[in-house]
Chain A
Amino acid sequence: MAIGVLAVQGAAREHLEMLRRLGVEARPVRTAREIEASDALILPGGESTTIGKLMARYGLLEPVRQLAAKGKPLLGTCAGMILMAKEIYAAGKEQPSLGVMDIAVQRNAFGRQIASFEADLEIEGVEGGPLRAVFIRAPVISSVGQEVAVLAAHEGRTVAARQGNMLALAFHPELSDDTRLHAYFLGMR
């Protein structure tokens, strides 16, 4: 079972570390071939415009769409979630994306960096009490399609959702010490 963490830009190392703590050796992936060889993929946080442009230039969008089409587990956190969404609202700008998950997202929905925050979140399907979630210039899921289950909300706004084997999170579980969401992701296989 090869788990890849997309490492074209952003916080890939933190995801690799979380998986390592769960006893799983994952690897950073940056080429089409490495993505194709993955049985599950994490799209980390970072700058979604940068990651999207690099994926488009280096032919990485299609291999990830193929993984999603085959039902391989995909996890997107923050920028990764934005890249997975079918619709992106960001001041009317076009940006390259995967468009594999039937959700609409709004970028920087809580404001700029000075509005970044941590909050306790109850997540559907994650046992053991609330999880401390770190939101950084975070997006929200503004609407979901019929196939999508909402897993968590903060102040009434959707911040976690699942569609089949795709999990989208507006926050950063990889920046906390709590491995439960990564364990949940591994359980999706």
Chain B
Amino acid sequence: MFLAYLISILILAAIGIILAVSLQLTVGFTGLLNLGHLAFYAIGAYTSALLALAGYPFWFCILTAGVLAMFFGFLISLPINKIKKDYLALATMGFSFVVYAVLLNWTDLTNGPLGLAGIPRPQLFGFDFSQNSNFLLLVAIIALASYLIIKLITISPFGRVLESIRDNELAAKILGKNTFKMKMCAMGASAFFAGVAGSLYAYYITYLDPSSADIMQLIPFLAIVIIGGLGSLEGTVVAAIVLTFLPEPLRFIGFPSSIIGAARQVIYALFLLLILIFKPKGFYGKVKLE
């Protein structure tokens, strides 16, 4: 019983890791205050769910989810060349609202607020992942692969250019870097992994409604990125695991479920606030928050 509970939290933590490290790529490494990350996640989740319900195999669904999310990542990059800092945050947040509204209202495709039910669990190479323990293994492998690829990007000279854009975009341009292309790549790669995370979430939860694109759901992930430390993937992973487990004891205190949700938000906000006051670089971060 407890083991099943633990496994289900670990699955959510692994999905959270993918979502958080990909968010770290744009926010922490490239300096793009991207508040539209959950839109890519939702695009991935819905793409994957619809394809899975239509009977397509797992690998096809998850890759298409990633690629379509990446396409929207590129698309949102077109205007961000002209938009900087806080305004970029507003623009990406706007994108998030648009995606949420589309998912809610395009009922022919998404079934609107009723959501998509009965998403089948994946099968791959004859393995059945309907057992949570098997599914955890699958998610863990994909989370590890995502982490390693993003790590590879950030430690390569390409990642160095991304960091130079975060520190001083004009200086990067003056050194001859096409910063527009770079930011587009960062958004695209980040959106790809958000889409993959969305796909895994849809497979895991087997039911999807537009609330997965709700901007409020982004707050824990922004908190993870900041608490882990901007520019630190290791910190992000640790923070993702800690923050997934942190509100869990609330379940056992005996609060009604309506309070648990709100209490969780409060805990994240409180934790974030404490970090910003006492450890502004996060636990492992190298980058000063401006």
The judgment on whether A and B are partners is no
Chain A interface residues (CB < 8 Å from chain B) = none
Interface on B for A, CB 8 Å cutoff? none
